[in-house]
Amino acid sequence: MRNDSLNIDALSSQIDTKGPAYTALADTIWGFAELRFAEHRSVAAQIATLEAEGFRITRSVAGLPTAFMAEAGEGGPVIGFLGEFDALAGLSQQAGSAEAAPLEPGGSGHGCGHNLLGAGAMLAAVAARDSLAAEGRPGTIRYYGCPGEEGGSGKTFMAREGAFNDLDAAICWHPGTYAGVMSSLTLANFQVYFRFKGRPAHAAGSPHLGRSALDAVEIMNMGVNYLREHIPSDWRVHYAITDAGGVSPNVVQAQAEVLYLIRAPKVAQAESLFARVRRCAEGAAHMTETQLTVSIDKACSEVVPNTVLEMTMHENLRRIGAPRFDAADLAFAEAIRASLTPEDIESGVESFGAPPETGAQALPEEILPFDGTSRFNAGSTDVGDVSRIVPTVQCWGANYAIGTPFHTWQMVAQGKSPAAHKGMLHAAKAMAATALDAMRDPELLARAKAELQRRTGGKPYTCPIPPEVKAPPLRAARSA
């Protein structure tokens, strides 16, 4: 039963007042553009801000140097806000430019909006803490600094170590092109290195003495490509050759490596697909007389939606209203859209489940409709592992021009724009309001927990990353 004593207008005003400090933080992190598990400056900037706000800091959560927790308040309930701050390789781009213009050729950039994600979740946590303190109400607010979402599954490593076990609810958001509840059925995944070791030889003088590791990689890839015909259409397999064995064609390549990202709607399905891909690798090793080593890099579970919390968040979004953009925001959005194809825009509208007619808008003018129905999302997120432990709710933010594809220079170019900032503050209001509703209404939390139990069948969380696998050091950015 909803508690209507929450004053949305007062909460919104409070967030607007503190907003400039947090949009400046988002811009600072945009400039750092650090890759997975190397986000040291981004973490330092966030910790400094939260320490100034009076939060208690726990560093190196779950043994990850760039994972941390900031906590305020005492007692229960305990509500956690999830933040991210890692960038993507190869997406360096000048802010505010409507043309591709790298700041640093080959450099990294925030092509998924995580500079906004972390700062916005922090702002929501601070606002919720301030509201509780003003009312003298018990409860604990936490902000989790979660590293390496882009191909690192930082939250999964944190979940494996029990970082979220005592939460009553978790709240998150993701920058996007519409404002609304994010109720997504995502794909679980395994990211795995397949390394082959052969024997070098002169490719012309004594090819019969060589055993080509690159041949093994190519044969494996061919086998997997034939496998694609025999898996369900919503399962996914991607690969990248990360070591081709050298640049000399007159040498039989003695080592080679390929990285696979294997996805399916359920963890068990992804695991079974992983086993089939592995058999392709084993067959390739037999055919080429090479040695195979298989190393799991990371994995994550599918998201478990929570309709109880999602409907609460949708009601808060409805009460807050859509973000308000001005003529300058619309002009820049139109300039960005000029770089997109009609197919980009159509796909972008469809992926959010937005009304088709909104594709004619540069920026959204209303909240996404939501009736409690979850939508399939072919992407993956380590939020899935948190959602299997504790009731979890997410929203989309309206930060970018409608149709902007994720993981592109266009998204990086908009990451410091006034529209991006407005969307971040808007999402912070929805998150803070939902947290306060949950803290004020024990029945709401009870229903959310009961739904999680029902959806998981009461089974305890099992981490898909084996205990012997450690969080990988920075090597290259992998896309989520």
Last residue of a domain, one of 298, 326, 353: 298
State whether 202 and 316 are in the same domain. no
In a domain, 375, yes or no: yes
Preceding amide of 77 cis, omega within 30 = yes
Q: pLDDT band at 1, cuts 50/70/90?
A: very low
Locate the DSSP E strands across 201-250.
236-243
Over the stretch 117-141, which tens digit does the pLDDT of each residue have? Answer: 999 999 999 999 999 999 999 999 9
DSSP 256-323: EEEEEEEEESSHHHHHHHHHHHHHHHHHHHHHHT-EEEEEEEEEEPPP---HHHHHHHHHHHHHH---
Instruction: Give me 206's structure tokens.
Output: 């004594």
Task: Give the closest residue to 364 by CA, choosing from 395, 336, 335, 323.
Answer: 323
Q: pLDDT band at 6, cuts 50/70/90?
A: confident
**Average pLDDT rounded to a whole number, residues 459-474:** 88
Task: Give the closest residue to 59 by CA, choosing from 49, 72, 70.
Answer: 70
In a domain, 474, yes or no: no
In a domain, 18, yes or no: yes
Instruction: Give me 159's structure tokens.
Output: 């979940």
Half-sphere exposure at residue 390, Cβ-oriented, CA atoms within 13 angstroms: 25
Count CB neighbours of 13 within 10 A: 11
How big is the CA angle at 66 (ends 60 and 71), to the nearest 5 degrees? 60
Residue found under tokens 């808008």: 361
Cα–Cα distances (Å) from 343 to 11, 56, 151, 405, in that order, read: 39, 47, 27, 10
Count CB neighbours of 468 within 10 A: 6
In this prediction, residue 151 carries a pLDDT of: 87
Task: Give the closest residue to 383 by CA, choosing from 206, 204, 171, 137.
Answer: 171
Pairing of strands 188-197, 291-300: antiparallel
Contact 92, 108 (CB under 8 A): yes
- Rounded-to-integer distance, Cα 460 and Cα 457, Å: 9
Over the stretch 10-46, which tens digit does the pLDDT of each residue have? Answer: 999 999 999 999 999 999 999 999 999 999 999 999 9
Half-sphere exposure at residue 464, Cβ-oriented, CA atoms within 13 angstroms: 33
Domain residues for 210?
188-298
Q: Which amino acid does the sequence have at 181? A: V
State whether 317 and 267 are in the same domain. no
Contact 257, 293 (CB under 8 A): no
Last residue of a domain, one of 269, 298, 327: 298
State whether 319 and 452 are in the same domain. yes
In this prediction, residue 471 carries a pLDDT of: 80
Instruction: Give me 313's structure tokens.
Output: 């968040």
State whether 79 and 166 are in the same domain. yes
Count CB neighbours of 296 within 10 A: 16
State whether 148 and 209 are in the same domain. no
In this prediction, residue 60 carries a pLDDT of: 97
CA torsion angle 274 275 281 285 (round to 10): 150
Cα–Cα distances (Å) from 24 to 43, 118, 418, in that order, read: 15, 12, 11
In a domain, 68, yes or no: yes
State whether 341 and 232 are in the same domain. no
Contact 323, 422 (CB under 8 A): yes
Over the stretch 82-92, which tens digit does the pLDDT of each residue have? Answer: 999 999 999 99
In a domain, 307, yes or no: yes
To the nearest whole number, what is the mean pLDDT of the chain?
96
In this prediction, residue 478 carries a pLDDT of: 44
Q: Which amino acid does the sequence have at 79? A: I
Q: pLDDT band at 55, cuts 50/70/90?
A: very high
CATH number at residue 282: 3.30.70.360
* pTM for the model: 0.94
Half-sphere exposure at residue 305, Cβ-oriented, CA atoms within 13 angstroms: 20
Rg (CA), the chain: 23
State whether 176 and 324 are in the same domain. yes
Over the stretch 286-304, which tens digit does the pLDDT of each residue have? Answer: 999 999 999 999 999 999 9
CA 458 to chain CA centroid, Å, is 26
Q: Structurally, how many domains does the chain consist of?
A: 2
Over the stretch 356-372, which tens digit does the pLDDT of each residue have? Answer: 999 999 999 999 999 99
State whether 152 and 65 are in the same domain. yes
Percent of all residues in the chain with a pLDDT value above 90, rounded to a whole number: 96
State whether 181 and 213 are in the same domain. no
Give the N- to C-terminal CA distance of the chain in Å, as an integer.
Answer: 37
State whether 170 and 196 are in the same domain. no
In a domain, 421, yes or no: yes
CATH number at residue 168: 3.40.630.10
**66 beta partners:** none
Over the stretch 390-424, which tens digit does the pLDDT of each residue have? Answer: 999 999 999 999 999 999 999 999 999 999 999 99
In a domain, 80, yes or no: yes
DSSP 346-380: HHHHHHTT--GGGGG-SS--SPPP-SS--EE-S--
Last residue of a domain, one of 298, 321, 350: 298
State whether 169 and 238 are in the same domain. no
Q: pLDDT band at 473, cuts 50/70/90?
A: low
Residue 339 predicted with pLDDT over 60: yes
Over the stretch 67-79, which tens digit does the pLDDT of each residue have? Answer: 999 999 999 999 9
State whether 125 and 97 are in the same domain. yes
- Rounded-to-integer distance, Cα 143 and Cα 118, Å: 9
In a domain, 58, yes or no: yes
**295 beta partners:** 193
